[in-house]
Structure 1
Amino acid sequence: MAEARLQLVARRVRSFPDFPQPGVLFRDMSPLLRDPEAFAATIELLAEHLEARHRAKIDCVAGLDARGFLFGPSLAQKLGIGFVLIRKRGKLPGPTISTSYSLEYGQAELEIQEDAIQPGQKVVIVDDLLATGGTMSAACKLVQSLKAEVLEGLTVVELTSLKGREKLAPIPFFSLLQYN
């Protein structure tokens, strides 16, 4: 049953060669988002993984701006826990903390509200795709700076040739689909 749902999810991820620039193979999840059955399967598979691995230890799901916002709230609701925003700098009101990180093409900054996560809480961070790991790694640092524990990072798609998983170590990481 899980294998059939995973295949459904995989069939809804399409590839666009040379986008956004020559040599890049873009993994597009738009068809996955348009298909309610495939989207539901995605959330169910992620939730089942977390429930098997962490049982009732998770306090909240944190989602990365912007596509982590597509999967994170549904996953949090499925698990019966809250959802927290990790946004690009300047997008959140109130007191925030931020961190900068390197992208393939420059620098960026992420931030979180100071009161979004309490010390000692156990957090799972979700995004749509893991490439080089810079954004997910920065999000882990933000959560840890609030004295919370990152239980795991997870995505729908992982581009394994970019070795982003290695940048997250020792934090566990899980992806539903892996592409070279």
Structure 2
Amino acid sequence: MTEKLSTIDIVAEIFCQATKKTLDKSTQKSIKYSKTIQVIPDVCLRPELGCFVQFTGDYNGLVVMNFSAGAAMELYRSYMLAMGLPEDSLAKECTSAEVVDTMGEMTNQFMGKAMQMVESKFDLTSYIGQPKALSLNTAITLTPNLDYQDNRRMVFSLETHRFYMEMALEKTEFVVMG
């Protein structure tokens, strides 16, 4: 007997697929994600580089992306080189505005894809705000709303580094009618 997945777990899986598809294409690298989704008590921005964005509409939530310096630089370099920029023109530090802004832009791209995929599957629409990216020395816990009691963490792997998506979703259930 198979266990019915909760709505947040279904949405989390769609977000993982959207992130992989978008980053595979934009970085020309193979991004992997863990088939295990973690239940977590809080959603946090964590060092060295974090990015967050809220989505609102037919369903509401918050996504946080957490990148180590190595993961941010690996994604940034792959993204910029795939666009044809010369190696010698790339930023060298993960705290540079170029790297931080690029992580925000990547987040915007895969969140747009995720919204599109959820709408295609469930006929429900949400809109993302502008992702905010920043370099961090310490973790910051985000509490978007008391109704956001369901939180998940998804793990992504690059060639040599990992990065994380944390998601808070309002208490909701998607029930597809005949």
Q: TM-score, normalised by structure 2?
A: 0.27
Q: Tell me: higher relative CO, structure 1 or 2? Use CA pairs within 8 A at least 6 residues apart.
A: 2
Q: TM-score, normalised by structure 1?
A: 0.26
Question: Which has more strand, going by share of residues?
Answer: 1
